[in-house]
Copies of this chain bind each other. A is one copy, B any other.
Amino acid sequence: MRDRLPALEGVAYLNAGTNGPMPEDALQAMEAELADQGRRPRIGMAAIERWIALRGRVRSAAASVVAAPPEEIALTSSTSQGIGLICAGLAWQDGDEVVTTTEEHPGLAGPVHELGVRFGVRVRSVDAGDVADAIGPATRLVAISHVLWTTGRVMPLPEIAAAAHAVGALLLVDGAQSAGNIAVDAAASGADCYAFSGQKWLLGPQGSGALWVSPRALDRVAPGTPWYLTYSEGQVGTYQQDACRLDAGTIDPVTLTGLAAAIEFVDGLPGGRPGWVERAAMNSERARARIEQVEGARVVDPGGPGSGLIAVELARGEPTDATAALAEQGVLVRYIPKTPYLRVSVGAWTDDEDIERFCAALAGFLAASG
């Protein structure tokens, strides 16, 4: 399977938390779509029907990742955009409250912050362990990650959802670091809206993503940036019945093809997506144990062993310097701003040699920082 992920060649690719390695199958499908887009007329009824069918194919693929029916999926260009559309689409009143954590990515922290600036919404940012307790009668929205981008901590969504729903609030989940990394069942998690990315753990192109919206929440969300496909047959004023009314706008068919093909690639492997996620979890567990053996490195694991996203705290040296030093040796990880962590992304494709290269390079950096 590694042979079909060409970006792995020659490097220890340990940053799917930013962008994952794309499957050769997806690249070839994108090339074919590009040729079709460019070298044949992309106009006329047949072209439009083909385009709509492609959107349906991506919707089904994205839906399968979060165990939802395609009717509950809107297509977006990113997790941030999905989150932004929910924040922009809800009806806000002065004094409404949003509960979030202090460890959210700008793609969630940004939209939530703007609610305060624009609509007088009170934003309560609390420690990741205190979310359920912070929910109160004025809470209208709880907006948190499933897997925190900082430490990889997996948030207890069902417990938080119960607290949110008890006060009539919606739970909006940032799934950028969970979808494709761990098993996700959006409805069973208790979430009302679940936004996720195509280009990270799902191995798709940049500019792809999806937003799951529970049928019970759909009518509470107005389309933030409506367009032709928001409406039934383009008739302004008549929404499409399903979550596709929240589709964020046009996306290059080449990009759409890439996301569908990347998801289908994993689904088509022996064991399918469940096997993929299981293998990722095993790889992650082994990597955590091995990294702990490096003197001066500590795996940060609040809430117990989590996902393939592993934060490593260094006893010496700056994570920014470590990232640069490791990159020179072909070991690709990242640091997380305002934290003391290196972040390592381990997926189903990660092998022991990747982890050995990381550990050796990290040990070298720590020794040089002594």
Contact = CB atoms under 8 A, between A and B. Distances in A.
Nearest to A205: B252
B207 A88 contact: no
A42 B78 CA distance: 16
For A7, A206, A226, the residue with the greatest tally of chain B CB atoms inside 10 Å of its CB is: A226
Nearest to A10: B41
Interface in A194-217: 199, 205-209
| Contact size range, A | 35 or more
Given A7-B39, A106-B231, A252 B254 contact: yes
Number of copies: 2
Contacts of A27: 34-35, 38-39
Interface stretch (A11-19, A57-65, A273-281, A296-304): A11-19
Interface in A79-93: 80-81, 84-85, 87-88, 91
Nearest to A11: B41
Given A38-B6, A39-B27, A88-B88, A114 B80 contact: no
A122 to B, nearest CB: 15
A171 interface: no
A324 interface: yes
B249 A252 contact: no
A19 B45 contact: no
Interface of A: 6-7, 11, 13, 15, 18-19, 21-22, 24, 26-27, 30-31, 34-35, 37-45, 47, 51, 76-78, 80-81, 84-85, 87-88, 91, 105-107, 109-111, 113-114, 117-118, 199, 205-209, 222-228, 230-231, 234, 236-237, 248-255, 258, 324, 327, 332, 334, 337
